[in-house]
Amino acid sequence: MSDKVLLDYGSGGRASQRLVSELFLAAFDNEELSRLNDAAVLDLSGPVAVSTDSFTVDPIFFPGGDIGSLAVHGTVNDVAMLGATPRYLTCGFIIEEGLPMEDLRRIVASMAKAAREAGVLVVTGDTKVVPKGACDRIFINTTGIGEIIVQPTPSAERAAPGDAVLVSGNMGDHGLAILSKRQGLSFEAPVESDSAALNHLIVSLVQSLPQVHVLRDPTRGGLATTLNEIAASSGTGILVRESVLPITDAVRSGCSFLGLDPLYLANEGKFICILPQELAEKALRIMRADPLGRDACQIGVVTEENPKKVILETPIGGKRLLGMLEGEQLPRIC
Amino acid sequence: MDLFAGFRDPAIARALLEKIRGETRGVRFMEVCGTHTVAIFQSGLHSLLPENIVHLTGPGCPVCVTHDAEVAAYLEAAAKDKVIIATFGDLMKVPGPGGASLKSAQADGARVKVVYSPSDALALARDNPDDTVVFIGVGFETTAPGMAATVKMARAEGLSNFKVLSFHKLVPPALEALLSDPGMEIEAFILPGHVSAVIGAGAYRPLAEKFKVPAVVAGFEPLDILQGLIILIEMLREGRHGVVNQYTRVVTEDGNAKARALVAEVFETSDALWRGIGTIPGSGLTFAKEYADFDALAALGIELKETPPIKGCMCGDVLKGKLAPNKCPLFKKACTPARPVGPCMVSSEGSCAAYFKYNLES
């Protein structure tokens, strides 16, 4: 194959076949994919969770991950948040002509590793190569399919007054790692993305505690926006104590430098868990036993007061709204 | 080690708050700086202050005071061929005449890059030698020295495709305009910490003397602001006026002479347009003769033109401390961060945006 992705590789002809067999089949290696049928046959039982997501992240390689691993983690986590075991992934690549083949190899290898670690099979896929300028290097779409293992499934509208609000770890690492690495910025924060597949941790959590009311991963829009979505759909209030929010000093000072709020930064390896207060300690023990949840803590409670609002109690005892993110976070002047 | 933890100590904050609550003398104070506005809301102080401490927000948000005519000028620049606009992120959503913004200009094909510093814009000019990179120079005394240093770097490198729209504004002339307003109801000022680091606490003394007003230069942590308020209450109770520097860890009496010298070399003072206030004499910075070739207005043949006021927008009264943001008839109705009518709702440091975003009663 040439050292760059050419339009030929999306032609459907021999060049396409070479790309598929030498790169994708070799990396994702599984029986179903290698049949190369028009569709995959899946072996599933019971109710099924499905989620799809498209990944267009810039830069495509960042501290702690890349667009390939992110495309696996993001969709695996979305499926897992329904209290499901992700089993299969589909993936579609839209590649800009001229992408170095080495970059594509790295991305595909990273996806394959992420899928192996998450225990999911990539069973079908698609590749399109578009002319230079028609997309930004590479876009990846993944669809995840999993078996639901807990009923009723965790869902935002099930948050109830008195519930504990837990997070599995530090907030904002992924968002700051991406923003500070973005082309044109002179600032680079000493943080790595937290991108990771949470499904194994989620499975052990819901198997022990099927009473979990809500599981959500606070990706784009961050913790604040996700909590607002939960408050809105359950009609409850959420009170968050700022003094216990887990945010590293590096993220705190990086955000301060760039004029950003860590509570609105994306996370790709963290989740919010809302469940009855009396089960909170047990949930935290399970989360902290896994390296991906070692910094888990309770950050607040679900309340009857202030329905559909998220209130932040500051360390000095003041209260303020923690609203939804409006558009994208932009750096301020001073 | 968190160097700021001591200035956020909850126990000390509670003790200072109790002291303020125990005072019978209140204060109608204005904080001039947008960073203070956000700090007061973010820390939850706004919800903790007793009723006789009336918090008014001032003209210290650089985005809020950027005049319609200036917005129209940079949008005109953005629409030109072979022009790349470099801007701080805050300006992206500011609506100009007719509701257009840099965001909408970008969607229409304008080349707009959000940068974090003027030197990022310089790099853009270096990387795009066939285009003209226009940096939108908004901000106060805090951002002007960095701008001046960048212009000098561009000169040294011989980068002729780097231009600046200098819409910088100066705080003391704006304070003078506020204090000269016969309808002013402000009793005391919390002066901006960052601006004061450059111009020094002494820069405000003639004003405090002339208008017999108490003022304190304060830092941005909760304890700084609470201590600043206690100083103001004591000054009012004792009938004293003048400037007290609470922020001594950053601000000196004379400020940063090097920064001021840089600004004085590259720029000269001029009259400037302030949104909601109008023209304030000697409150802007335009390029000095020796650096006139960096002036984007001249280079692109753009003139600042009169623009009709925005119908119903009361940002001017908000900026002058005459109207609380949530008392504006448009607040949260016609004017929201998603569809801002006036500039105070646009900026992350704008007073209306702060009320909308943080205030429980809003």
Enumerate the residues of chain A whose CB falls inside 8 A of the CB of residue B44: 312-314, 316-320
Q: Does A316 lie at the interface with B, CB-CB under 8 angstroms? A: yes
State whether A332 and B358 contact (CB < 8 Å).
Answer: no
Q: What is the pLDDT, as a whole number, of residue A182?
A: 79
Name the residue among B44, B93, B356 with its Cβ closest to that of A318.
B44
Same domain, B130 and B55: yes
State whether B46 and A311 contact (CB < 8 Å).
Answer: no
How confident is the model over B314-336, as pLDDT tens digits? 888 888 888 889 999 999 998 98
- Least confident range from A21-25, A317-321, B77-81, B274-278: namely B274-278
Same domain, B217 and B154: yes
**Cα-to-chain-centroid distance, residue B312:** 23
Q: Does B326 lie at the interface with A, CB-CB under 8 angstroms? A: no
Same domain, B237 and B330: no
Q: Let me know if residue B299 belongs to a domain.
A: yes
How confident is the model over B117-147, as pLDDT tens digits? 899 999 999 999 999 999 999 999 999 999 9
Enumerate the residues of chain B whose CB falls inside 8 A of the CB of residue A318: 43-48
Q: Let me know if residue B362 belongs to a domain.
A: no
Same domain, B325 and B245: no
CATH number of domain containing B294: 3.40.50.11740
Enumerate the residues of chain B whose CB falls inside 8 A of the CB of residue A185: 115-116, 120
Same domain, B301 and B326: no
How confident is the model over B58-74, as pLDDT tens digits? 888 888 889 989 999 99
pLDDT of residue A329 exceeding 80, the answer is no
- B90 or A43: which carries more pLDDT confidence? A43
| Min Cα separation A57/chain B (Å) | 17
CA nearest A179 in B: which residue?
Answer: B116
Q: What is the pLDDT, as a whole number, of residue A184?
A: 61
pLDDT of residue A299 exceeding 90, the answer is yes
Closest CA to B172 of B189, B155, B148, B153: B189
Buried b (16+ CB within 10 A) or exposed e, B184-203: bebbbbbbbbbbbbbbbbeb
Name the residue among B2, B143, B362 with its Cβ closest to that of A334.
B143
Q: Does B62 lie at the interface with A, CB-CB under 8 angstroms? A: yes
Q: Does A312 lie at the interface with B, CB-CB under 8 angstroms? A: yes
User: B14 near A287, Cβ under 8 Å?
Assistant: no
Same domain, B186 and B274: yes
**pLDDT > 90: percent of chain B:** 73
How many angstroms separate the most distant Cα atoms in chain A? 67
pLDDT of residue B361 exceeding 80, the answer is no
Q: What is the ipTM of this complex?
A: 0.84
Q: Determine the average pLDDT of the residues in B200-215.
A: 98
Residue ending a domain, among B271, B288, B306, is: B306
| Superfamily of A7-148 according to CATH | PurM-like, N-terminal domain (3.30.1330.10)
Architecture of domain A156-321: Alpha-Beta Complex (3.90)
Name the residue among B43, B116, B338 with its Cβ closest to that of A318.
B43
Q: Per the structure, how many domains does chain B have?
A: 2
Note down the domain range covering B117: 1-306
In chain A, domain spans: 7-148, 156-321
Alpha carbon distance A267, A74 (integer Å): 10
How confident is the model over A75-127, as pLDDT tens digits? 999 999 999 999 999 999 999 999 999 999 999 999 999 999 999 999 999 99
Q: Let me know if residue B228 belongs to a domain.
A: yes
Name the residue among B115, B140, B360 with its Cβ closest to that of A320.
B360
Same domain, B251 and B217: yes
Q: Hey, which residues 105-144 in chain B have their CB within 8 Å of chain A?
A: 113-117, 119-120, 123-124, 138-140, 142-143
Q: What is the pLDDT, as a whole number, of residue A158?
A: 98
Q: Let me know if residue B159 belongs to a domain.
A: yes
Q: What is the pLDDT, as a whole number, of residue B339?
A: 82
Mean pLDDT for all residues in chain B: 93
Q: Classify residue B255 as left (phi > 0), alpha (psi -120 to 50) or beta.
A: left
First to last CA, chain A: 50
User: B276 near B318, Cβ under 8 Å?
Assistant: yes
Q: Does B104 lie at the interface with A, CB-CB under 8 angstroms? A: no
Same domain, B143 and B18: yes
Q: Does B325 lie at the interface with A, CB-CB under 8 angstroms? A: no
Q: What is the pLDDT, as a whole number, of residue A333?
A: 59
State whether A333 and B360 contact (CB < 8 Å).
Answer: no
Residue A334: pLDDT band (50, 70, 90) is low
User: B60 near A301, Cβ under 8 Å?
Assistant: no
CA nearest B124 in A: which residue?
Answer: A184
CA nearest B193 in A: which residue?
Answer: A334
Enumerate the residues of chain A whose CB falls inside 8 A of the CB of residue B362: 321
User: B7 near B39, Cβ under 8 Å?
Assistant: no
- Least confident range from A109-118, A195-204, B252-261, B274-283: namely B274-283
How confident is the model over B155-207, as pLDDT tens digits? 999 999 999 999 999 999 999 999 999 888 899 999 999 999 999 999 999 99
Q: What's the one-letter identity of residue A34?
A: S
A75 CB-contact burial (10 Å; exposed 0-12 / middle 13-18 / buried 19+): buried
Q: Does B93 lie at the interface with A, CB-CB under 8 angstroms? A: yes
Residue A259: pLDDT band (50, 70, 90) is confident
State whether B35 and A320 contact (CB < 8 Å).
Answer: no
Q: What is the pLDDT, as a whole number, of residue A260?
A: 87
Name the residue among B48, B62, B337 with its Cβ closest to that of A334.
B62
| Min Cα separation B117/chain A (Å) | 8
Sheet of A163-167, strands arranged across: A214-216, A272-276, A163-167, A297-303, A237-241, A310-313, A319-321
State whether B143 and A249 contact (CB < 8 Å).
Answer: no
